[in-house]
Amino acid sequence: MSQTTVTAASAAEVAAELRARRAFVMVSHVKPDGDTLGAGLALGIALKRLGKRVHYFQQDPVPRNLRFLPDAECVAGELPADLPDDALFVFCDMSDAARAGERLPAITRDNMLDIDHHLGNAMFGRLNFVLPSECSTGTVVMHLMRELGVEIDARIATCLLTTIMTDTGGFMHSNTTPAVLELSAELMRCGADKEAITEQIFLNKRVAATRLLAKIVDVMQFAHDNRYCYSYVDDTMLAQTGADGEDTEDTVNVLRGQEGVEVAALFKAYDGEIRVSLRSNGSVNVQAAAHRLGGGGHFRAAGLTFAGSLSDAIAAVDAALVAQGL
Ligand code: 5GP
Ligand code: MN
């Protein structure tokens, strides 16, 4: 491969790289969501159709609500032993490579392709195809599909519509532009199974999840003239309800949706770490607040992992949000 340089790549350059390589590992981030996984699966299916060898690496298991995705059964938590040295690792939907998790072996930058839509992407690949104006990494991938001339079949369309519906919150967030709706219509015409996406990702909640939501709502707090709402979930609450981390996915949106609330935080204090989900109505840049504490994301949706106690996490996040104008 060519020498190591960091560039913002064009779709044509990335497509040329994809055509040149024979083997691929599509990589999704820890605590995967429908965007990181759907984007990788869509591009992986397309590359297989071009005759390429494709693997999927994801440190965490596929969440229950994403197991319906085409090829989800091919996702593995380790790399195949016979992977060629020039296999291209395609990182989808992550602002830095560490988001792939510590179980992914170190990879030379020459073999890293970074496909993303986050603000403040670290441009960690040799090629970086990062379009922050796109609503999802899946729609970033659509640019590559067009460049590659791959026809979008029903399986690819379902994966791509999943990325859009995940990252627009079912067409509710402000990133739902007319163009996004047009792309979604195009994907439905290609056979995307919108019914399955709605049912599996947005409905179909476990009773344990709803009981956990009740506990989280029970301990929610309001601050800053009720413009800020935050709550937490810990190991005890999970044990009491029989829920697990996957069941907390939507909860921060419930907090953000309370009357008058502009910013919400959910502190996920279980499994020996504290991860924080932040959401904003657009008045406060939560990506900038998360970035102060080592995390990242988007203007209205961001996250971070905090080293310390729950009360320290709550205080640190409060200070970071205030510094961003809360
Ligand atoms: P969520 O709250 O749904 O876990 O994440 C919201 C957004 O923030 C997503 O775009 C996600 O990729 C990003 N995000 C969450 N946690 C982290 C983190 O620890 N580091 C970075 N860089 N981004 C994060
Ligand atoms: Mn995304």
Q: What is the pLDDT along the chain (326 residues), one digit of tens a residue?
A: 333 445 589 999 999 999 999 999 999 999 999 999 999 999 999 999 999 999 999 999 999 999 999 999 999 999 999 999 999 999 999 999 999 999 999 999 999 999 999 988 999 999 999 999 999 999 999 999 999 999 999 999 999 999 999 999 999 999 999 999 999 999 999 999 999 999 999 999 999 999 999 999 999 999 999 999 999 999 999 999 999 999 998 899 999 999 999 999 999 999 999 999 999 999 999 999 999 999 999 999 999 999 999 999 999 999 999 999 99
Using CA atoms, how far apart are residues 120 and 90, in angstroms rounded to an integer?
Answer: 18
DSSP-derived 3-state class of residue 55: strand
* 54 assigned to some structural domain: yes
Q: Token pair of 235, please?
A: 């190991």
pLDDT at position 119 is 85
* 265 assigned to some structural domain: yes
Residue 305, ligand 1, Cβ within 6 A:
yes
Identify the DSSP state of 99.
Answer: G
Residue 166, ligand 1, Cβ within 6 A:
no
Q: Whose CA is nearest to atom 12 of ligand 1?
A: 297
- Starting from the CA of residue 163, give the closest ligand: 2
Write out the E strands in 143-262.
221-223, 228-234
Are residues 112 and 214 located together in one domain of the fold?
no
Of the residues 29, 30, 33, 130, which should be mutated to test ligand 1's pocket, given the most ligand atoms within 8 Å of the CB?
Answer: 33
**Which residues, 6+ apart, have CB-to-CB distance to 285 below 8 Å?**
299, 324, 325
Terminal-residue alpha carbon distance, the chain: 48
pLDDT at position 268 is 98
Torsion-angle region of 210 (φ positive above 0: left; ψ -120 to 50: alpha; else: beta): alpha
Count of structural domains within the chain: 2
Nearest by Cα to 75 from 27, 115, 43, 34 = 27
Are residues 197 and 223 located together in one domain of the fold?
no
- Starting from the CA of residue 278, give the closest ligand: 1
Nearest by Cα to 41 from 85, 75, 4 = 75
Query: Model pTM?
Result: 0.92
Using CA atoms, how far apart are residues 195 and 123, in angstroms rounded to an integer?
Answer: 36
Residue 279, ligand 1, Cβ within 6 A:
no
Are residues 19 and 141 located together in one domain of the fold?
yes
Are residues 243 and 299 located together in one domain of the fold?
yes
Q: Report the nearest atom of ligand 1 relative to the CA of 36.
A: 12
Using CA atoms, how far apart are residues 189 and 157, in angstroms rounded to an integer?
Answer: 9
* Residue that terminates a domain, selected from 202, 233, 257: 202
Are residues 18 and 154 located together in one domain of the fold?
yes
Are residues 183 and 226 located together in one domain of the fold?
no
Are residues 189 and 229 located together in one domain of the fold?
no
Nearest by Cα to 180 from 119, 146, 132, 139 = 139
d(CA 296, ligand 1 centre) in Å: 6
Are residues 227 and 191 located together in one domain of the fold?
no
Are residues 181 and 55 located together in one domain of the fold?
yes
CB distance 160 to 138 below 8 Å: yes
Helix axes 137-148, 11-20, angle to 10 degrees: 70
Are residues 110 and 66 located together in one domain of the fold?
yes
Burial of 111 (0-12, 13-18, 19+ CB in 10 A): middle
- Starting from the CA of residue 249, give the closest ligand: 1
* 1 assigned to some structural domain: no
pLDDT at position 6 is 52
Nearest by Cα to 288 from 256, 255, 317, 250 = 317
d(CA 287, ligand 1 centre) in Å: 9
* Residue that terminates a domain, selected from 202, 218, 248: 202
Place of tokens 């047009």: 182
d(CA 261, ligand 1 centre) in Å: 20
Domain that holds residue 281: 207-323
* CATH number (domain holding residue 93): 3.90.1640.10
3-state secondary structure 24-54: EEEECCCCCCHHHHHHHHHHHHHHHHCCCEE
Residue 63, ligand 1, Cβ within 6 A:
no
**Which residues, 6+ apart, have CB-to-CB distance to 289 below 8 Å?**
278, 302, 317, 320, 321, 323, 324
* Residue that terminates a domain, selected from 175, 202, 229: 202
Are residues 168 and 211 located together in one domain of the fold?
no
* 88 assigned to some structural domain: yes
CB distance 79 to 25 below 8 Å: yes
d(CA 166, ligand 2 centre) in Å: 8
Using CA atoms, how far apart are residues 269 and 43, in angstroms rounded to an integer?
Answer: 34
Are residues 12 and 81 located together in one domain of the fold?
yes
Q: Report the nearest atom of ligand 1 relative to the CA of 96.
A: 22
* 278 assigned to some structural domain: yes
* 137 assigned to some structural domain: yes
Q: Report the nearest atom of ligand 1 relative to the CA of 277.
A: 2
* 95 assigned to some structural domain: yes
Residue 277, ligand 1, Cβ within 6 A:
yes
d(CA 298, ligand 2 centre) in Å: 9
Residue 175, ligand 1, Cβ within 6 A:
no
Residue 302, ligand 1, Cβ within 6 A:
yes
CB distance 53 to 118 below 8 Å: no
